[in-house]
């Protein structure tokens, strides 16, 4: 979650539904998901931060007119990374784990471009074979 203060608000914004800020504070040291989107006709790039992987998938599923997801990065805070620095992991795909025992409960699995898997909740590096999955989104 991000928080900010009114003194950091810009007087202008993109539209009446948004506000622009010169500074925000990261309130929770949890993993974030940074998705870069491109507008097909205007060659305009927009970047969104999400705190929940399911919200990323829902955002992609809405298929906003003329906008497509170009890249996804997992952003890991220093308290959770082995390097004790911010870690940006380029993501290759988002998959849904196929469980034969209970189809109503499933995990989303991220696969980094380096082949490492991350499970959504609780956030964790998955070092083992994740088993059968269904690809929901693939990034170049």
In a domain, 23, yes or no: no
pLDDT of residue 63: 65
| Segment 21-53, tens digit of pLDDT | 999 888 788 889 999 988 777 677 888 899 888
Task: Please provide the DSSP assignment of 64-128 as one string.
Answer: -TTEEEEEEEEEE-TTTSTTSS-EEEEEEEEEEE--SS-TT---EEEEETTS-EEETTTTEEE-S
Whole-angstrom Cα distance, residue 86 to residue 79? 9
Provide the β-strand partners of residue 109: 95, 119
Domain that holds residue 45: 29-138
Please check the confidence at residue 125 and state whether its pLDDT lies above 70. no
In a domain, 92, yes or no: yes
Q: Considering only CA atoms, which of 73, 70, 118 is closest in space to residue 97?
A: 118
In a domain, 2, yes or no: no
Say whether pTM exceeds 0.75: yes
Number of domains in the chain: 1
């Amino acid at each position: 979650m991000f928080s900010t203060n009114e003194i950091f608000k810009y007087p202008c914004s993109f539209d009446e539904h948004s506000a622009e800020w010169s500074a925000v504070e990261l309130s929770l040291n949890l993993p974030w998901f940074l998705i870069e989107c491109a507008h097909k006709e205007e060659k305009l790039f927009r970047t969104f931060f999400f705190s929940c992987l399911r919200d990323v998938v829902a955002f992609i599923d809405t298929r906003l007119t003329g906008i497509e997801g170009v890249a996804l990065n997992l952003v890991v805070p220093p308290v959770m990374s082995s390097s004790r620095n911010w870690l940006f992991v380029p993501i290759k795909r988002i998959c849904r784990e196929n469980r034969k025992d209970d189809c109503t409960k499933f995990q989303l699995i991220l696969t980094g471009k380096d082949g490492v898997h991350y499970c959504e909740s609780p956030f964790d590096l998955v070092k083992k074979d994740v088993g059968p999955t269904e690809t929901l989104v693939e990034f170049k």
